[in-house]
Structure 1
């Protein structure tokens, strides 16, 4: 007897889970496959589950979020340094641009992954259809000749 394969509809993962998986650069659906092929280039499909990732529309949201986060953090530290300490101008002009650029580059890919995870969780940007799961189902075993499927009462499980 051969096992037949059934396709079951996949369930969409939750918002926080899919955004966290995206932030870590993993597929928002299964968490196994890698999302990025290059620095900011999203792969066409997940290696593990086959989710079509090419239909995302992250566009300009990741840079805006990165600018918002980095601008607030760096701006706060610049303000604190200027008001509480006497730091030379040459240090300020050489240190803060490097910190700002490094922070922005470090956050850009994870934020883009989180935005793709957000779109997946909400079913936006072409994520309305999910991959189907294939499950092998074996047929039930038939009793062999001479064996009875009747169990004696009180003898426990057969």
Structure 2
């Protein structure tokens, strides 16, 4: 099964839908953000995947900061009681920050597979094949 040629699938398409980056059929997630050990459809081991804090970073930079700025603006402009923040700002932050985490994590995992990303390693001269260049 693993020797079959797999067509390249878009990381955006498979990742945002939480599908296997190799076959596009199996699911990536066991729970909300927990990755499965492998794909149930094609058997791809998801051990290569390490999105780390990437999804949280993107959510904080592009969604959470504007939501917090809204809360600060509301406080500075109107000085409302605390319950107004609980009714407006808190739901805005929760509803705009939590739902994007799963699609972003799926996209990062699928991108790691698609681009064959791996942990960096130091290259030594023993790892390289040195080919002498001819002199002019």
Q: TM-score, normalised by structure 2?
A: 0.69
- Equivalent residue in structure 2 for 1:90, among 82, 85, 91: 82
Query: Which one has more relative contact order, counting CA pairs under 8 Å at least 6 apart?
Result: 1
- The 2-side partners of 1:116 and 1:61 are apart by 10
| Alpha-carbon RMSD | 2.7
CA distance in 1, matches of 2:4, 2:23: 15
After superposition, residues 101-112 of structure 1 pair within 5 angstroms as: 101-112=94-105
- The runs of 5 or more residues in structure 1 that have no matched partner are 127-158
Q: Does the C-alpha gap of structure 1 residues 93 and 45 become closer, same or farther in structure 2, counting only changes over 3 Å?
A: same
User: 2:17, 2:117 → 1: CA distance?
Assistant: 20
* Matches of 1:114 and 1:72, distance apart in 2: 21
**Would you say 1:45 and 2:38 are equivalent positions?**
yes
Distance in 1 (CA, whole Å) between partners of 2:52 and 2:4 is 32
- Residue 28 of structure 2 corresponds to 35
Instruction: Provide the secondary structure at the position in 2 that maps to 1:31.
Output: coil
Give the unaligned 5+ runs of structure 2.
120-136
2:6 to 7, 10, 16: 10
The structure with more radius of gyration: 1
Does the aligned pair in 2 maintain the 1:66–1:108 contact within 8 Å?
A: yes
> Given that residues 12 and 29 in structure 1 are in contact (C-alpha distance below 8 angstroms), is that contact kept between their aligned partners in structure 2?
yes
The alignment of Structure 1 onto Structure 2 pairs a total of residues equal to: 117
TM-score, normalised to structure 1's length? 0.61
Q: In the alignment, is the contact (CA less than 8 A) between 2:71 and 2:85 conserved in 1?
A: no
Instruction: Give 1:19's aligned residue.
Output: 12
Name which of 24, 39, 55 aligns with 2:48. 55
Greater fraction of residues in strand:
1
Aligned to 1:65: 58
